[in-house]
Chain A
Amino acid sequence: QVQLQESGPGLVKPSQTLSLTCTVSGGSISGGGYYWSWIRQPPGKGLEWIGYIYFSGSAYYNSSLQSLALISIDTSKNQFSLKLSSVTGADTAVYYCARFSMVQGTFDYWGQGTLVTVSS
């Protein structure tokens, strides 16, 4: 059973960089067929796809983030990470990591989510 777990600071100051890591267990992040993804959800609002990365390092992002997001992958640690720079209060959200199945076109496994608050 694949499991994903987000980790990182719960509080980030405005204009700084938000950094989160997702640790994957129960399966190898190096296996093909999946994109490793970040999705966020502002309090009381809907889901927003941030981006995803393949084990090869190829990454794709939501254009609305205007190049502020950077996703990286460390196959030796079975982890992938998100950096979101120049954050504002609008970036306050629950951040989820998830596995995207290329065959089904769906997010089939999710982390529990971590709340990140942007505040001084």
Chain B
Amino acid sequence: EIVLTQSPVTLSLSPGERATLSCRASQSISSDLAWYQQKPGQAPRLLIYDTSNRATGIPARFSGSGSGTDFTLTINSLEPEDFAVYYCQHRSNWPPITFGQGTRLEIK
């Protein structure tokens, strides 16, 4: 079973700074990784799929990279609306769906 471990648990930054969020898989998952953003009281929103492809309507300041077991979500020049919780997600043969535990991005 693949386990996704996100770090850090909490990241404190100021608007305008760059955020770097990590997702590490317990074994190689090729490039099959997605990222979601969740704001309080809302459903998660898809940001990135297949490691580096932005979903429809996602601003260019969001980018994804990585391969194998180590993946990164980068948010350049943080906007006030970017402060939220971020989850990574992988699909495989079994179990079909795995989520990371989340990283909370908070305003410093």
| Residues of chain A whose beta carbon lies under 8 Å from any beta carbon of chain B | 37, 46-49, 52, 60, 62-63, 96, 98, 100, 104-108, 110-113
Pick the contact of B87 from A46, A60, A100, A113 — CB < 8 Å? A46
Query: How far is A52 from B97 in the complex, measured between Cα atoms in Å?
Result: 10
| Cα separation A108 to B57 with both chains bound (whole Å) | 12
Closest A residue to B96 by CB, please name it: A60
CB distance B46 to A108 under 8 Å? yes
How many residues of chain B have a CB within 8 Å of chain A?
23
Query: 8 Å CB contacts to A: which residues of B50-108?
Result: 50, 55, 87, 89-91, 95-102
The chain B residues found within 8 Å of chain A, CB to CB, are 32, 34, 36, 42-46, 49-50, 55, 87, 89-91, 95-102
Pair count A-B, CB < 8 A? 55
Q: Contact check, A106 vs B99: say whether CB atoms are below 8 A apart.
A: no
Across the interface, do A106 and B49 meet the contact criterion of CB distance under 8 Å? yes
If A110-B43, A112-B43, A113-B43 touch, whether A104 touches B50 (CB-CB below 8 Å) is yes
Known A-B contacts: A96-B44, A110-B45. Give 11 more (CB < 8 A). A37-B97, A46-B99, A46-B100, A47-B102, A104-B50, A105-B32, A105-B50, A106-B55, A106-B89, A108-B46, A108-B55
Q: How far is the CB of B33 from the nearest CB of chain A, in Å? A: 9
Q: Is the CB of A107 within 8 A of B89?
A: yes
**Contact status of A96 and B43, CB under 8 A, knowing A105-B49, A105-B50:** yes
| B43, B91, B98, B102, most chain A CB atoms within 10 A | B43
Using known A-B contacts A46-B102, A47-B87, determine if residue A107 contacts B95 with beta carbons closer than 8 Å: no
Query: Within the assembled complex, what's the spacing in Å between the Cα atoms of A63 and B98?
Result: 12
B96 engages A52 (CB within 8 Å): yes
